[in-house]
Amino acid sequence: MSERPPTPSLSDSLAVLATARPLVQSITNAVTVNDVANVTLHWGGLPVMADDEREVAEMVAAADALLLNAGDVSERGERTMLTAGRAANERGVPVVLDPVGVGATPTRTAVATRLADELDLAVVKGNYGEVSALAGAESAVRGVESVGEYADIAATARACAAQTDAVVVASGETDVVATGGDAYAVDGGHPMMGRVVGTGCMLGVTLAAFSGAVADPLGATLDAVLAYGLAGERAADAEYGGPASYKIAFLDAVAALAAEPGGIDDASLEGRLEPL
């Protein structure tokens, strides 16, 4: 059993984000690049999506956080992510790795494993199957979706955190945030989030934005996951006709949360974090 989780400090984190306006350099996939840029902006960050190997080190030098989303696997993309990650490590810029689809093919697994092995990572974010695959545990990933049962996901997330020396987020029906020693369940979100392509990618850059503004890696990660889940819930309370309009409501909910950090009651959020 993990220790009692840290007290949520979401209002403070959102206030810091609003003041810091972190520049987040994202190397992401073509499917969700616009969503990733928009959600960065809506949280209060500044998005930049440089993906030319000649430029990424220069852009990282000016950035506060780096997202590496391995959703598009190419030799050029792999080189670019490694170049960006090494530049971030040299400058102390936090790196968030989203190993999209790791475990689905040997190529994706090789790329994700190389990134995790060769770079110093602040946060690793994946669904249950992706985190399990990266940790070398049994997993089932079809395309980029996690399938199967993961009764030991807390232990697997802790193992992945120990291997990567990063805070690990295993996203699913219940999100799990883990370090090498502790793991916490985060209660938040809504089933509609699973019906929109790109919510996983947007969570990845949310983690990068918070990591670029909030100094404590675990606190930044817990607050980011909480904020993301709250936005999903608020979007579900709005009027929407289906997945497309829900996505718009979700982006609006992110912007509204970021605009009212003082309206967050941190004490009411304590029950949303449970030690595992």
143 vs 110: CA distance, rounded Å? 15
User: What is the token pair recorded at 94?
Assistant: 């936090």
Q: Is 125 annotated as a binding residue?
A: yes
146 is annotated as contributing to ligand binding: no
State which H helix or E strand residue 273 sits in: strand 273-275
| Residue 202 marked ligand-binding | no
The H or E element containing residue 95 is: strand 95-98
Q: By the 8 A CB rule, do 27 and 80 touch?
A: yes
Sort strands 141-142 and 145-146 into parallel, antiparallel or unpaired.
antiparallel
Count of C-beta atoms within a 10 Å radius of residue 116? 20
Measured from the Cβ of residue 70, the count of other Cβ atoms closer than 10 Å reads 24
Q: Is the dihedral of CA 181, 137, 98, 237 positive or negative?
A: negative
**Inter-residue contact 24 to 205 (CB < 8 Å):** yes
Is 271 within any annotated ligand binding site?
no
Residue numbers in the known binding site for substrate are: 49, 198
Residue numbers in the known binding site for ATP are: 125, 171
Residue numbers in the known binding site are: 49, 125, 171, 198
